[in-house]
A and B are shown apart, each in its own frame.
Chain A
Amino acid sequence: GAGVSQTPSNKVTEKGKYVELRCDPISGHTALYWYRQSLGQGPEFLIYFQGTGAADDSGLPNDRFFAVRPEGSVSTLKIQRTERGDSAVYLCASSSTRTSGVFYFGPGTRLTVT
């Protein structure tokens, strides 16, 4: 079946602009995660959804970052007033308890803030 998909694959934006990144998880996976990966680093946790609700948003760096998952499937990560330091690959992952908690990652969105 289809894996996790993310759009766009690349996004270049100017400092101060607003961006939205979309994640479409594997069908039936109730858990959805957003991670951020900077060059040469491991992924860093941003936010976790169980169903429609954000069960843990402790990784969001500040209030410019927000994420929603209104129908318990697709999720959107929103970044306001982007800064150059927001440049990274944003990864989405979904999981199911039926798969021993393994995360299935999407291809990522490479965000570049100029």
Chain B
Amino acid sequence: DQQVKQNSPSLSVQEGRISILNCDYTNSMFDYFLWYKKYPAEGPTFLISISSIKDKNEDGRFTVFLNKSAKHLSLHIVPSQPGDSAVYFCAARGGSDKLIFGTGTRLQVFP
């Protein structure tokens, strides 16, 4: 039972345009959501997070939107840069502070 899903395994975006990565979850008890970026041979790097009591959080080029009624969150990257090319994971915090990860979306930003 996959509680956190990223339905797009890959996304290709032109440099300078907006990248939108999506994530859906099933458990309404999740209280905190995070996005991580992962390069090969490295651990995940934290990008941005959002509490379940908010619907938007912004940090530089990164904005996360949360729609609780739809159990959906998205990460917007604008403008996209070639260095953003990586695998992006969304994660949700459940009981006992555990993070449950989505399946990941591979983003490729081309010139």
Answer yes or no: do A and B interact. no
Binding site for B on A (CB under 8 A): none
Binding site for A on B (CB under 8 A): none
